[in-house]
């Protein structure tokens, strides 16, 4: 599903954020991306969201090279990827329902179907009763869950999350992680960037460890990154 082949990214400032990264993620796999801040986690996710283009190497999604994707094809590609942002990036002037409906509206779903799907997604994150609230009236954990509902409402094949438990307490973090596992269970490929090692320590998942733009280790959590 996701294949990094010798991918490097050098910013115009000269900073080399990623150095010859190679790894593969198969369909329905869930992996954590860890490493200290500045290790290149965010850059790696940005490459997957096509917010940045690799400087060299090949980045294949479903066998297609993202490097060769023309500008006009970017929107369509992004519709197949769900993204959970660190600061959830909800639009504060719209209700929870409208926020979650946004990807459907953008992809051109008929309005009749939108309501059903949005409620299914909100039900999935346990916030069905909050659909007419505004994001700022919700707690941090609830906002993050709205962000997750928005990321999965259009049933993407790939789910990316950037520090999804960033400023949440351990109980809420565990809840969010459980949510991600449920998506993985239905075949979504999930990649989660986090520096919260205690959170993933006792989860049996693949961990891709980055440091200084290089891939240090790639394996199970038992090895203890």
- Binding region for other proteins (CB under 8 A): 12, 26-31, 49-53, 71, 74-79, 81, 83, 89, 91, 102-103, 105-111, 113, 150, 155-157, 184-188, 204-206, 219-220
**Of 33, 24, 30, which is closest to residue 205 (Cα–Cα)?**
30
**Of 2, 47, 50, which is closest to residue 28 (Cα–Cα)?**
2
| Closest to other proteins by CB, 113 or 123 | 113
| Closest to other proteins by CB, 102 or 174 | 102
The answer to whether 47 and 66 have CB atoms below 8 angstroms apart is: yes
**Of 222, 167, 220, which is closest to residue 196 (Cα–Cα)?**
167
| Closest to other proteins by CB, 35 or 54 | 54
DSSP state of 25: E
| Closest to other proteins by CB, 126 or 219 | 219
Taking the complex as a whole, how short is the minimal distance between the CB of residue 169 and other proteins, in angstroms?
26
Taking the complex as a whole, how short is the minimal distance between the CB of residue 207 and other proteins, in angstroms?
10
| Closest to other proteins by CB, 15 or 51 | 51
| Closest to other proteins by CB, 171 or 204 | 204
| Secondary structure E strands in 74-176 | 81-84, 158-162
| Closest to other proteins by CB, 36 or 97 | 97
Give, rounded to a whole angstrom, the gap between the first and last alpha carbons of the chain.
Answer: 24
Give the CA angle between residues 220, 180, 134 to the nearest 5°.
145
Residue 109 sits at φ, ψ, to 5 deg, of -75, 145
The answer to whether 89 and 147 have CB atoms below 8 angstroms apart is: yes
Q: Which helix (H) or strand (E) holds 58?
A: strand 56-61
The answer to whether 10 and 55 have CB atoms below 8 angstroms apart is: yes
Contacts of 68 (CB under 8 A, 6+ apart): none
């Amino acid at each position: 599903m996701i294949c990094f082949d010798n991918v490097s990214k050098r910013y115009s400032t000269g900073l080399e954020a990623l150095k010859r990264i190679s790894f593969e993620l198969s369909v329905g796999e869930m992996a954590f991306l860890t490493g200290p801040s500045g290790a290149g986690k965010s850059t790696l996710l940005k490459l997957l969201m096509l917010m940045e283009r690799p400087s060299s190497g090949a980045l294949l999604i479903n066998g297609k090279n993202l490097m060769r994707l023309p500008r006009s094809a970017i929107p369509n590609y992004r519709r197949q990827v769900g993204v959970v942002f660190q600061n959830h990036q909800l639009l504060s002037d719209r209700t929870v329902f409208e926020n979650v409906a946004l990807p459907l509206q953008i992809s051109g779903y008929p309005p009749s179907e939108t309501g059903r799907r949005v409620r299914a997604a909100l039900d999935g994150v346990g916030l069905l009763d909050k659909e007419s609230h505004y994001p700022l009236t919700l707690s941090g954990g609830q906002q993050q869950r709205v962000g997750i509902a928005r990321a999965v409402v259009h049933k993407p094949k790939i789910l990316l999350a950037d520090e999804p438990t960033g400023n949440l307490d351990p109980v809420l973090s565990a809840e969010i992680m459980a949510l991600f596992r449920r998506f993985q269970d239905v075949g979504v490929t999930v990649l989660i960037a986090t520096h919260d090692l205690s959170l993933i320590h006792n989860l049996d998942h693949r961990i891709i460890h980055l440091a200084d733009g290089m891939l240090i280790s790639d394996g199970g959590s038992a090895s203890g990154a």
